[in-house]
Amino acid sequence: MKFPSPWLQLFMPGKLHSAEVENEEDYLTPFAENFWGGYDVNDIYDAFSFAETGSFDNPWIRTTARETPGGSTAFGPVQVTGGLLTDYLNNEPDVYNDNKEIGDLLREQASLFSFHGNEPEKQRGYSPIWDYGGTGMNLTDIQKGQYKDFSQDMMLDMWNKNKNKDNPIKSFVEAWRGVPEDEDPDYYKRFNTNLGR
């Protein structure tokens, strides 16, 4: 049985959650912060991190998926993209502005990733830190904490938008991953495995 963290108890004092339930729908809560099954935002972040970069010794890198159509600026443990950051800047300014310092830095880094793209030999000022698998700006520990905070805020927002859908958990994972389960079943399996689902 999975018991809620003290953080979760602030929202639902005295309520226990069990991960061993047959009907997911009965297990969803009305609180965006709670996710489902008693999982808190740290659990969800860790599951996405495992699915995205769990196989790398250093998760603080640009994606190694060089063949991604159109290129990719995904970076860090949960592979936040420049496109996602811009989407939050334009459409969810409250979430973005709460994390503006790291958001602006990551968008700047994403621009450099995008500039060097798939043909680094054609770009002036090329450095392997901007190429696929590169470390980018080499964030400080404080900035890494800000990255995690911002990512978790976006995850909470995405869960809030998907929790009332027919298949909320799958819709939520798809919102972060960007493709449905049938296009990347291993990713969904890694996510669920990390949560013990």
Q: CA neighbours within 13 Å on the CB side: how many for 178?
A: 10
**Which DSSP state fits 2?**
P
C-alpha to C-alpha distance for 59 and 53, rounded to whole angstroms: 5
Q: Is residue 73 part of a domain?
A: yes
pLDDT of residue 57: 96
The 8-class DSSP code of residue 179 comes to S
* Number of compact structural domains in the chain: 1
Cα of 8 vs its chain's centroid, Å: 20
pLDDT score at 119: 61
Percent of the chain with pLDDT over 70: 78
Per-residue pLDDT of the chain (197 residues; tens, 9 = 90+): 333 343 333 333 333 333 443 454 444 443 345 688 889 999 999 999 999 999 999 999 999 988 887 789 999 999 999 999 999 999 999 999 999 999 999 999 999 998 876 565 666 767 889 889 999 999 999 999 999 999 999 999 999 999 999 999 999 999 999 999 999 999 999 999 999 87
* pLDDT given at position 117: 65
Residue 194 CB coordination number (10 Å): 17
Domain contains 148: yes
Report the candidate in 78, 81, 67, 76 with the shortest Cα–Cα distance to residue 117.
67
Give this prediction's pTM: 0.81
Is 1 among the domain residues?
Answer: no
Whole-number pLDDT of residue 66: 85
Q: Report if residue 56 sits inside a domain.
A: yes
How far from the centroid of its chain's Cα atoms is residue 27's Cα? 23
Residue 70: the pLDDT is 75
Show the CA angle centred on residue 190, arms to residues 18 and 143, nearest 5°: 95
Q: Is 23 exposed, middle or buried (0-12, 13-18, 19+ CB in 10 A)?
A: exposed
CB 13 within 8 A of CB 32: no
- The Cα–Cα gap between 181 and 132 comes to 24
Query: Residue 113 corresponds to which amino acid?
Result: F
Q: Which domain holds residue 106?
A: 6-194
Please list, residue by residue across 41-75, b when 16 or more beta carbons sit within 10 angstroms of its beta carbon and e when fewer do.
Answer: bebbbbbbbbbbbbeeeebbbbbbeeeeeebbbbb
Q: Is residue 40 part of a domain?
A: yes
Per the prediction, the chain carries an average pLDDT of: 83
pLDDT score of 101? 98
**Alpha-carbon span 13 to 64, nearest angstrom:** 43
The one-letter amino acid at 138: N
